[in-house]
Chains A and B, each alone.
Chain A
Amino acid sequence: MAEVHQEGGGSGADFDLSQFYQIFFEEAGENLDLMERMLLNLNLETADDEELNGVFRCAHSVKGGAATFGFSDVAELTHQMESLLDRLRRHELKPNSAMVDVLLESADASRGLLARHQAGGEGHSPPTTDLVRRISVLVSGASAAPTAMLVPVAKLVEVAPVPVASAVVESVSEARIDGIRSLEITIGPVDRPDQADVVKELFRDIPGLGTIATLPCGSSEFRVFAVETLSSDEDLIDLFAFHVSRQQVTIKDVGRSAGRGDSDLAPKMNSDARSDSYDDDPPPGAPLAPLPGFGFFDGAPGAPTDMLPAGAVKPATALRADVRAPAHAVQPEAATIRVAISKVDQLINLVGELVITQAMLAQNSRALDPALYQQLLTGLTDLDRNTRDLQESVMSIRMIPMSIVFSRFPRMLRDLAGKLGKKVDFVTQGEATELDKGLVEKITDPLTHLVRNSCDHGVEMPEDRLRAGKSEIGTITLSASHQGGSIVIEVRDDGRGMSREKILGKARERGLDVSDQMTDGEVWQLIFAPGFSTADVVTDVSGRGVGMDVVKRNIAALNGTVEIDSSEGYGMKVSVRLPLTLAIMDGMSVGVGDEVYILPLSSVVESFQVKSDAVSTVGQGSQLVKVRDEYMPVIELEKVFQVPRFNFEKPSDIMVVVEADGSRVALLVDELLGQQQVVVKNLESNYRKVPNISGATILGDGKVALILDTGALVRRSRH
């Protein structure tokens, strides 16, 4: 199951993309804040490279993100800022206060633009054309005549408020011309027409949606509304679907109204917009009955053109107030906060304690007479539920899906492939695999390096690939999965692979102790030696040999391991195996004797009650069970784990078939206790590796249960 991540995202990945949007908005917001702080602290006379580089990096990050997500207006503005900052940091220009001013204003404008995108594209966008122009003046003009330009620039800044204000109006007018559509929406047939009236509340509650008015309608089963909005039909239907079914909604476009036709007038109106364009008079050209309660999107698009000759009516200040108010309404609130991981950990541990206390209370209250202690018992039931909900929520704080990491790569690869002149397809698998946030952060850099390596060293040039009989386009696959209690992240490519001889040769050159008898695995491990590179040419991407040893060291620091598999001419696979420190896993709890063990649900195939005649022994007593014409080895957990047994009357008769590493075994257990999400705890942090056990978890009653390593159990059955 491979899902190819495309840049900008296809429609199939809407949910994921919006997830990334949120991260981008946060990061961009932080970058803009940081930039603002740095700009404000910038000492113009003695600005050092570090400061200027810092500001540049902020602008650059915002631009990069905006371009990736297709927010071209933000990208355009930040690109201009970046150009200016680039010249500053190269000392081609000397920073002056006008530059700082315009940069600060641009940062504000970027925030406005971002806020608009964050609100789903509703509301108006802050003006940027003027800022862009001013920046380009600074970039080009100032370098030609630095001193001469200073004065006009300063003036420009002084008068800034006025153009900004008028430009706001301008952009709104543009929006009115471009976006507003007049629609006739029919809802029905409905049993009670007042059901349909609730959609009017949508227009009242959602700022920037537009206006709605009820139109007279002959039938009692229908309601007809006149709507003016910027939103698309689909968006409207989605909104209405909260109240009425989609089939009941009919949208008729009654034309983009008169103003649309007068496109030749539009530019003129734009330029004149600052002098007028706001008038509460109903638009004569409006196709529908006059609508009461016009808000921000007042007037049909036709209105301004008609009103143009009439000239300015309203004072500019009032205009600005009108326009600004809704802008505040869509100000995004901070949807997330950043918290130190240690605080979250503390929370997790405290909740763990709470769960135990709660379980203890529940146990002690069982003996109480329900009739006498009804209130107490009700309270305890509530406590039970709340504790569990709390635990679940707290646990989920730390876990984030791998897609967060994976999503960084498509763009990087695209750029890289473009730079190297290669053609590369990027495939990701298992991006829903959840991983502890701490690990995710630390694994990003090593993975970046591995992916980079695959692209640079692994995948060949298109012509070489064709010559080798491969498809012109190379494939780099990034996959994540839970395996035997670890998380395995694989970076695969179908490139040229590694040459054993070449590596051995290089190793000898570097004076490493090697011999031809080394196994492939040992040879591949050589590339982790510090300073080792097999690249013939050092590129600016990789090849300096500082990579793989750092990768290995970083991964080892996470208690992980790196394995390489390669076949010359066919590609290479790097597997990074990480322990689960706090991964959440779906588990199935089984009872053996008096003990409870957890099986990873992902490896459980089926379970059944076994009939004694289905089990047969082979050779030295190993047992086989026949399941639908297939024989599979039986593993008695009781024997493997030396479970003491006190009750001999009831023999184990339940088998759980598990699959790992491509083969299946049947585990003999006493009972199936249930399925639950378990938090995987590392047994090795305070103890040691235990055979056939991948980790431990804490059950609801505070007891520790061991998680079985199905991979090891399956391997055990083979010997």
Chain B
Amino acid sequence: MGAMAKVDDFTSSSPAREYLTFRLDQEEYGIDILKVQEIRGYEPPTRIANAPSFIKGVVNLRGTIVPIVDMRLKFNCSKSDYDSFTVVIILNLRNRIAGIVVDSVSDVMELPPDSLKAAPEVDSVIENDAVLGLGSLGDRMLILLDIEKLMSGVDMGLASEAE
């Protein structure tokens, strides 16, 4: 309900944070490592009828039913193959658990707050307020996501009603 305030403590005074980075097609994304519960290989989920195409279905995670969202479909990547390198990042978001499918997980890196740039207003499939900013690492650009906001968005359709 009221936990949308996570973005606000994103100030230059806050200490460096650790981000898990993953690839979707050619793009590299980073999410707060503290939201990540575990990383698993992809196993075919149980399909759910009439769900959006990027919701692949639900899997059994040690007795918990967890929905799986394919970020490549959600972000309109050109291809979304499932092979032995496809991984699922299990996220723990405000007592809800969800998995996201990504092409590969790169690494965990620490980003000092001053290396972050505000994201310019661009037209993209990602709601703009779900992008925390852009991090630059040499010639690589990292898109930092507020995964919590992204996953709880209405168009994600993970919750029954917008909370």
Is A362 an interface residue when CB atoms closer than 8 A count as contact? no
CB-CB under 8 A from B51, the residues of chain A are 690
Is A224 an interface residue when CB atoms closer than 8 A count as contact? no
Contact B160 A698 (CB under 8 A): no
Contact A688 B160 (CB under 8 A): yes
Is A515 an interface residue when CB atoms closer than 8 A count as contact? no
Contact A688 B46 (CB under 8 A): no
Contact B46 A686 (CB under 8 A): no
CB-CB under 8 A from B60, the residues of chain A are 352, 356, 698, 702-704
Stretch at the interface among B6-14, B24-32, B64-72, B124-132: B64-72
Centre residue among B48, B59, B64, B66 by max chain A CB count within 10 A? B48
Where the two chains meet, the residues of A that have a C-beta atom closer than 8 Å to any C-beta of B are 348-350, 352-353, 356, 595, 640-643, 681-693, 696, 698, 702-706
Contact B45 A349 (CB under 8 A): no
In the complex, A692 Cα to B49 Cα: how many Å?
Answer: 10
Contact A641 B59 (CB under 8 A): no
Contact A685 B65 (CB under 8 A): yes
Contact A642 B62 (CB under 8 A): no
Q: Which residue of A lies closest to B47 (CB)?
A: A595
Q: Which residue of B lies closest to A593 (CB)?
A: B47
Shortest Cβ distance from residue B148 to the other chain A in the assembled complex, whole angstroms: 14
Contact B46 A705 (CB under 8 A): yes
The one of A350, A642, A686 that contacts B65, using a Cβ cutoff of 8 Å: A686
Contact A352 B46 (CB under 8 A): no
Contact B62 A349 (CB under 8 A): yes
Contact A686 B98 (CB under 8 A): yes
Shortest Cβ distance from residue A367 to the other chain B in the assembled complex, whole angstroms: 20
Contact A686 B63 (CB under 8 A): no
CB within 8 Å of A: which B107-163 residues: 157-160
Contact A706 B46 (CB under 8 A): yes
Shortest Cβ distance from residue B74 to the other chain A in the assembled complex, whole angstroms: 15
The one of B63, B66, B97 that contacts A352, using a Cβ cutoff of 8 Å: B63
Residues of chain B at interface, number, CB under 8 A: 24
Q: Which residue of A lies closest to B46 (CB)?
A: A704
Q: Which residue of B lies closest to A679 (CB)?
A: B63
Known contacts A595-B47, A688-B157; A704 and B62 CB within 8 A of each other = no
Q: Which residue of B lies closest to A594 (CB)?
A: B47
Where the two chains meet, the residues of B that have a C-beta atom closer than 8 Å to any C-beta of A are 45-51, 57-60, 62-67, 96-98, 157-160
CB-CB under 8 A from A349, the residues of chain B are 62-64
Contact B50 A642 (CB under 8 A): yes
Q: Which residue of B lies closest to A688 (CB)?
A: B160
Contact count A vs B, C-beta below 8 Å: 76
Shortest Cβ distance from residue B93 to the other chain A in the assembled complex, whole angstroms: 10
CB-CB under 8 A from A690, the residues of chain B are 48-51
The one of A356, A682, A702, A706 that contacts B48, using a Cβ cutoff of 8 Å: A706
In the complex, A572 Cα to B65 Cα: how many Å?
Answer: 38
Q: Which residue of B lies closest to A582 (CB)?
A: B63
Contact A686 B96 (CB under 8 A): yes
Q: Which residue of B lies closest to A699 (CB)?
A: B60
Shortest Cβ distance from residue A388 to the other chain B in the assembled complex, whole angstroms: 16
Contact B46 A683 (CB under 8 A): no
CB-CB under 8 A from B63, the residues of chain A are 348-349, 352-353, 681, 698
The one of B45, B47, B62, B67 that contacts A686, using a Cβ cutoff of 8 Å: B67
Q: Which residue of B lies closest to A695 (CB)?
A: B65
The one of B49, B50, B58 that contacts A687, using a Cβ cutoff of 8 Å: B58
CB-CB under 8 A from B48, the residues of chain A are 687, 690, 693, 706
The one of A348, A595, A689 that contacts B46, using a Cβ cutoff of 8 Å: A595
Contact B160 A684 (CB under 8 A): yes
CB-CB under 8 A from B98, the residues of chain A are 686
In the complex, A681 Cα to B57 Cα: how many Å?
Answer: 15
In the complex, A702 Cα to B66 Cα: how many Å?
Answer: 13
Contact B49 A685 (CB under 8 A): no
Shortest Cβ distance from residue A663 to the other chain B in the assembled complex, whole angstroms: 23
In the complex, A348 Cα to B58 Cα: how many Å?
Answer: 19
Shortest Cβ distance from residue A695 to the other chain B in the assembled complex, whole angstroms: 9
CB-CB under 8 A from B64, the residues of chain A are 349, 681, 685-686
In the complex, A686 Cα to B60 Cα: how many Å?
Answer: 11
Contact B50 A691 (CB under 8 A): yes
In the complex, A174 Cα to B58 Cα: how many Å?
Answer: 69
Contact A704 B58 (CB under 8 A): yes
Contact A683 B65 (CB under 8 A): yes
Contact B58 A641 (CB under 8 A): no
Q: Which residue of B lies closest to A692 (CB)?
A: B49
Q: Which residue of A lies closest to B159 (CB)?
A: A688
Known contacts A686-B98, A691-B50; A704 and B160 CB within 8 A of each other = no
Q: Could you pull out 7 A-B pairs where Cβ atoms are within 8 angstroms?
A: A640-B49, A681-B65, A686-B65, A686-B98, A687-B48, A687-B58, A687-B67
CB-CB under 8 A from A703, the residues of chain B are 46, 60
In the complex, A38 Cα to B93 Cα: how many Å?
Answer: 45
CB-CB under 8 A from A693, the residues of chain B are 48-49
Contact A696 B62 (CB under 8 A): no
Q: A595-B47, A681-B64, A686-B158 are in contact. List 5 more A-B contacts (CB 8 A).
A: A348-B63, A684-B160, A686-B65, A692-B49, A698-B63
